[in-house]
Amino acid sequence: EIAKLPKETLALWEKYGADESDDKESFQKSFIRHVTTTLARSIYNIDNFSAYQATAHSVRDRLIKRWNETQQTHTEVDSKRVYYLSLEFLLGRSLDNALLNLGLKDNYGGGIKELGFTMEDVLEQEVDAALGNGGLGRLAACYMDSLATMDYPAWGYGLRYTYGIFQQRLKDGYQIEFPDYWLNFDNPWELPRLDVVVDVQFCGSVNRYTDEEGHERYAWEGGDTLQAIAYDVPIPGYGTKNCINIRLWSSKPKRQFDLTRFNEGQYEQAVYEQMQAENITAVLYPNDNHMVGKELRLKQQYFWVAASLFDIVRRFKKSEKPWSNFPLQVIMDKIHTHPTLAIVELQRILVDLEGIGWDEAWAIVTQTFAFTNHTILPEAMERWPVPMIQYLLPRHMQIIFDINLFFLQKVEKAIPNNRDLLAKLSIIEESTPQFVRMAHLAIVGSHRVNGVAALHSELIKQTIFKDFIQFYGESKFENKTNGITPRRWLHQANPKLSELITETLGSKNWLKNLDLLKGLKSHVNNKDFRKRWVAAKLSNKVRLADYIQKATGVTVNSNALFDVQVKRIHEYKRQFMNILGVIHRYNTLKKMTSEERACVVHRVVIFGGKAAPGYYIAKLVIKLINSVAEVVNNDNSIEDSLKVVFIPDYNVSVAEIIIPASDISQHISTAGTEASGTSNMKFVLNGGLILGTVDGANIEICEEIGDDNIFMFGNLAHQVDDLRHAHRYRSVPVDPSLQAVINDIESGQFGDSRIFAPLINTLTHGKDYYLISDDFQSYLDTQKLVDESYKDQEGWTTKSIMCSAHMGKFSSDRAIQEYADQIWEIKPVPVMTKKHI
Ligand code: 7GP
């Protein structure tokens, strides 16, 4: 089409096309232009926040250019794309990441200084994009970074929540929640695509009819229609022109006003309905590893899936390829069971709208989807009541019943006369009311299923999905161990260490090939290198100590051992065990003489993490931590040998300060409960040691770094069932050290003990489901070992270096490469740089 334009027009595009160069002067020009035009301010009234906005807009201009070129290239090449469907993208801040990935940081840092600002102050102004709860959402963000960096043609699809994860504040030691209205100011990191609008239908009824060729067909008619509007979030790769897209949908009513109602005087009702439509994408559900069966959540899921599939199908149809090519052009990875309705929606599009026969359609559907499971916890398994789906999505419910019928027929044929197996495998749970088991639907509708760490992928085959192995065999199930992006989690979060590594290895190549960190091993005895390694850690600890002072008012000594546990507060993650261990330590210290205390390693125990607002026990754990902190931090008799802090509002940008500063971090879930964990990887990559159970990715980290460099303890996954059984039926005595700590709490040492009774009950009357009693003694013993090891500072430094050096495997680039080669079957598409047309 371009060829048809007159030469003069093309010449104009050539001449005036956006020339956003990357040098310092171009940045300064564009900064000033944005201050005066975009922000309508002047040199007289520009503060740090405006400076942030102007910088962000300058970077955005450059991002958009790359983003455009990427989209054009992908359209031209039109190779298979991967669509990463995730209800959560926990991106955090974007400016620093974009500056580093685009290679602009040095020029812009210098440029902004000359304009009277510092880059640190400017970066501090940005609010986090916190559209996720924890590990699952942050994994999605790391994977997008790797997909972009490795030039893969990839899209993310999610929801643009008006409110992200709540902000946590503390009052009298209790968590209180505040709404995270993150879009208060304009968001330079999204491109509103008001022209990309998709209708999404709910409710209504299904009518059967016969088409012209005499086939029986179904039409879903009536009901309410909402609109999904696209907001595109560009994700730049590191050291490449590739800049991919996350498309987030926002909901709005189809009609701005119901005019009849308006004229009848029902103005309020009309506006109310408008608000209802906007509600769908209003809020991120604040639950991690837990399902909440709210109708609004189901609506969110369908709204997101329907809009995304419409978009994907529209893109495919442009190529005019036959439907049988769909799986060759499109692969969708379902992040957990949240987008499972996409299976049903695609089957509906193919059968009802495109008129393709059921079997042919189903073959296309199953080839198109892959399913990644992120948890084994039963309370996180999604089940939706059949009547709820029937009401909201009547046609989908019929299709689910049909999918189930055909599936069970196949099972019956392969393994005849096994009613028990049929009941176990059925997508429908035959209770009153009936439920749809989303994980079953996800398995049946996908060609591959994977877990996120070796142990987890084994456990899903042995437990929650065991019955499926009987029918499918093992080949459908595999493992893809999680990874993290070294660009954000080392280069950006820990500039001092990153610089040292680059200097030592002689190039920045390790940022794209993390295995190169092995090269650090040959420097482990180099005095100067070791000195700088230790200095980097210390300066990160000073930075964290400052932050702690500001955020909590507690003064901590940067020379103490920093012991960190930051993650969502959950019983299975056992922050409770950690604080019980702290009480044990405190009372041991109190019994010591001053001389004895002079020999102990000083510790700062740092906690951070949010509890789901409705999770009563988790919230009590936060209260207990703060009550203990209050007593310990104000007890002069222990002479600073122990401090306890709870850092409020743990989020991505706080993590960037905490993680590089840790000496040891705790990943102490009951064996078999933590699917993978990803912060464990981040800590070790930054030269922090870990204290962990034999669970999730801890196991593989141990394999890589060697058991000399990690502190592992506790019962193993295969022992858990028996231990639980023993608690349930034989009422095993509580571990004596644990009993002593319980007594301390009950004596009122940390305030009114009645507050903590429900928490203590989980250990005593509640049968200790997470096996704290069984692991407590080995936990304390291992903590002692940590203290002993830390006394040998030289030995500790060696361990710290060896830890980072062996973390190559845990780059998200490795994980993405495996997904791309083995599940998605996609190839990189390098971006072709063009002039302005
Ligand atoms: C989390 C797992 O708990 C964590 O171990 C893993 O590292 C992370 O996913 C990324 O794979 N799972 C969830 O957050 C989750 O399953 C379900 O939420 C709603």
Cβ atoms of 396 and 204 within 8 Å: the answer is: no
**474 and 532 co-located in one domain:** no
User: Within a domain: residue 260?
Assistant: yes
Both tokens of 504, joined, read 């030592």
Predicted pLDDT at 262: 67
Predicted pLDDT at 258: 61
Catalytic status, residue 481: no
| 3-state DSSP helix/strand/coil % of the chain, to nearest 5 | 55, 15, 30
Distance CA 14, CA 4 (A): 16
* Domain count within the chain: 2
Cβ atoms of 625 and 579 within 8 Å: the answer is: yes
Predicted pLDDT at 249: 98
**Cβ 815 under 6 angstroms from ligand 1:** no
User: What is the average pLDDT value for the chain, to the nearest integer?
Assistant: 95
Locate the ligand 1 atom nearest the alpha carbon of residue 456 and give its number. 5
How many C-beta atoms surround the C-beta of residue 835 within 10 A?
9
**536 and 401 co-located in one domain:** no
- Partners of 449 in the beta sheet? 371, 477
Q: Which of 374, 383, 480 to mutate to test the pocket of ligand 1 (most atoms within 8 A of CB)?
A: 374
Predicted pLDDT at 373: 98
Q: Which of 657, 605, 811, 815 is nearest to 128 (CA)?
A: 657
User: Within a domain: residue 496?
Assistant: no
- What is the CA(708)–ligand 1 centre distance, in A? 28
Non-local (6+) Cβ contacts of 113 within 8 A are 119
Distance CA 305, CA 758 (A): 40
Query: Residue 621 belongs to what domain range?
Result: 515-808
**Cβ 372 under 6 angstroms from ligand 1:** no
Non-local (6+) Cβ contacts of 752 within 8 A are none
Both tokens of 32, joined, read 């000033």
- What is the CA(136)–ligand 1 centre distance, in A? 5
Q: Strands of 273-344 (E only): list them.
A: 330-335
Residue 832: which pLDDT band, with cuts at 50, 70 and 90? confident
Distance CA 26, CA 43 (A): 18
Cβ atoms of 712 and 697 within 8 Å: the answer is: no
What's the whole-number mean pLDDT along residues 669-698? Answer: 98
Task: Give me Rg for the CA atoms of the chain.
Answer: 28
The one catalytic residue among 395, 574, 682, 799: 682
**372 and 442 co-located in one domain:** yes
Reading across the β-sheet that carries 435-437, which strands appear in turn?
383-385, 435-437, 428-429
User: Within a domain: residue 52?
Assistant: no
Distance CA 446, CA 375 (A): 18
Angle between helices 105-114 and 24-33 (to 10 degrees): 60
Q: Which of 558, 607, 557 is nearest to 581 (CA)?
A: 607
Predicted pLDDT at 752: 97
Predicted pLDDT at 256: 58
**Cβ 619 under 6 angstroms from ligand 1:** no
Catalytic status, residue 568: yes
Cβ atoms of 92 and 141 within 8 Å: the answer is: yes
Locate the ligand 1 atom nearest the alpha carbon of residue 373 and give its number. 16
Task: Look up the ipTM and state it.
Answer: 0.99
User: Within a domain: residue 102?
Assistant: no
What's the whole-number mean pLDDT along residues 425-432? Answer: 98
Catalytic status, residue 254: no
- What is the CA(374)–ligand 1 centre distance, in A? 5
Distance CA 96, CA 743 (A): 49
Distance CA 811, CA 682 (A): 10
**427 and 559 co-located in one domain:** no
Distance CA 550, CA 544 (A): 10
**447 and 547 co-located in one domain:** no
**386 and 450 co-located in one domain:** yes
Cα–Cα separations (whole angstroms), residue 661 to 604, 657, 689, 802: 12, 7, 11, 17
Amino acid 344 reads: V
Residue 88: which pLDDT band, with cuts at 50, 70 and 90? very high
User: Within a domain: residue 57?
Assistant: no
pLDDT digits (tens, 9 = 90+) for 203-258: 999 999 999 999 999 999 999 999 999 999 999 999 999 999 999 999 998 875 56
- Collapsing DSSP to helix, strand or coil, 480 comes out as coil
Distance CA 36, CA 266 (A): 44
Distance CA 52, CA 122 (A): 5
**Cβ 568 under 6 angstroms from ligand 1:** no
Locate the ligand 1 atom nearest the alpha carbon of residue 482 and give its number. 11
Which runs of consecutive H residues, i.e. helices, occur in 599-646? 616-633
**470 and 522 co-located in one domain:** no
Identify the residue whose tokens are 């620093």: 96
What's the whole-number mean pLDDT along residues 81-86? Answer: 98
pLDDT digits (tens, 9 = 90+) for 570-579: 999 999 999 9
pLDDT of 133 > 70? The answer is yes
**562 and 476 co-located in one domain:** no
**168 and 253 co-located in one domain:** yes
Cβ atoms of 402 and 445 within 8 Å: the answer is: no
Biggest distance spanned by C-alpha atoms of the chain: 95
User: Within a domain: residue 20?
Assistant: no
Q: Tell me, what DSSP letter sits at residue 831?
A: P
Cβ atoms of 501 and 801 within 8 Å: the answer is: no
Domain end among 433, 461, 482? 482
Nearest CA to ligand 1 atom 10: 136
Locate the ligand 1 atom nearest the alpha carbon of residue 133 and give its number. 14
Q: Which of 85, 142, 284, 289 to mutate to test the pocket of ligand 1 (most atoms within 8 A of CB)?
A: 289
Buried b (16+ CB within 10 A) or exposed e, 268-283: eebeebbeebeebbbb
Q: Which of 539, 528, 529, 531 is nearest to 496 (CA)?
A: 539
Cis peptide before 378 (omega within 30 of 0): no
Question: Residue 354 — φ and ψ, nearest 5°?
Answer: -100, -10
Report the half-sphere exposure of 370 (CA within 13 A, side-chain side). Answer: 23
**471 and 531 co-located in one domain:** no
**Cβ 674 under 6 angstroms from ligand 1:** yes
Q: Which of 297, 336, 375 to mutate to test the pocket of ligand 1 (most atoms within 8 A of CB)?
A: 375
Report the half-sphere exposure of 493 (CA within 13 A, side-chain side). Answer: 28
Q: Which of 417, 407, 413, 419 is nearest to 443 (CA)?
A: 407
pLDDT of 836 > 70? The answer is no
Predicted pLDDT at 1: 62
Question: Residue 563 — φ and ψ, nearest 5°?
Answer: -115, 115
Predicted pLDDT at 489: 98
Both tokens of 556, joined, read 């901590």
Report the half-sphere exposure of 697 (CA within 13 A, side-chain side). Answer: 28
What's the CATH code of the domain at 261? 3.40.50.2000
Residue 67: which pLDDT band, with cuts at 50, 70 and 90? very high
pLDDT of 21 > 90? The answer is no
User: Within a domain: residue 6?
Assistant: no
Q: In which element (H, E) is residue 643 found?
A: strand 642-647
The one catalytic residue among 74, 138, 334, 573: 573
Which runs of consecutive H residues, i.e. helices, occur in 686-807? 698-705, 720-730, 736-746, 757-763, 772-791, 793-805
**232 and 291 co-located in one domain:** yes
How many C-beta atoms surround the C-beta of residue 214 within 10 A?
6
| DSSP codes, 437-461 | EHHHHHHHT-SEEEESSHHHHHHHH
**461 and 576 co-located in one domain:** no
Taken in order 59, 65, 70, 71, the sign of the CA dihedral is: positive
What's the start-to-end Cα distance of the chain, in Å? 12
Distance CA 735, CA 777 (A): 7
pLDDT of 387 > 60? The answer is yes
pLDDT of 89 > 60? The answer is yes
- Strand bridging mode 174-178 / 205-210: unpaired
Both tokens of 348, joined, read 């509906």
Q: Which of 406, 401, 331 is nearest to 371 (CA)?
A: 331
Amino acid 157 reads: Y
Both tokens of 115, joined, read 């304009």
Cβ atoms of 490 and 508 within 8 Å: the answer is: no
pLDDT of 550 > 90? The answer is yes
Residue 698: which pLDDT band, with cuts at 50, 70 and 90? very high
Nearest CA to ligand 1 atom 9: 136
Catalytic status, residue 610: no
Buried b (16+ CB within 10 A) or exposed e, 377-411: beebbbbbbbebbbebbbbbbbbbbebbeebbeeb
pTM: 0.97
Cβ atoms of 723 and 735 within 8 Å: the answer is: no
Cβ atoms of 228 and 200 within 8 Å: the answer is: yes
Distance CA 784, CA 213 (A): 78
What's the whole-number mean pLDDT along residues 745-759? Answer: 98
Q: Tell me, what DSSP letter sits at residue 129?
A: E
- Collapsing DSSP to helix, strand or coil, 385 comes out as strand
Q: Percentage of residues in the chain with pLDDT exceeding 70?
A: 98
Residue 837: which pLDDT band, with cuts at 50, 70 and 90? very low
Cβ atoms of 120 and 554 within 8 Å: the answer is: no
Q: Which of 731, 740, 736 is nearest to 764 (CA)?
A: 731
Catalytic status, residue 567: yes
pLDDT digits (tens, 9 = 90+) for 453-500: 999 999 999 999 999 999 999 999 999 999 999 999 999 999 999 999
The one catalytic residue among 368, 678, 762, 782: 678
Identify the residue whose tokens are 């591959």: 448
**Cβ 374 under 6 angstroms from ligand 1:** yes
Residue 395: which pLDDT band, with cuts at 50, 70 and 90? very high
Both tokens of 234, joined, read 């560009």
- Strand bridging mode 167-171 / 89-92: unpaired
Catalytic status, residue 7: no
Predicted pLDDT at 273: 73
What's the whole-number mean pLDDT along residues 552-556? Answer: 98
**Cβ 373 under 6 angstroms from ligand 1:** no
Distance CA 96, CA 132 (A): 20
User: Within a domain: residue 832?
Assistant: no
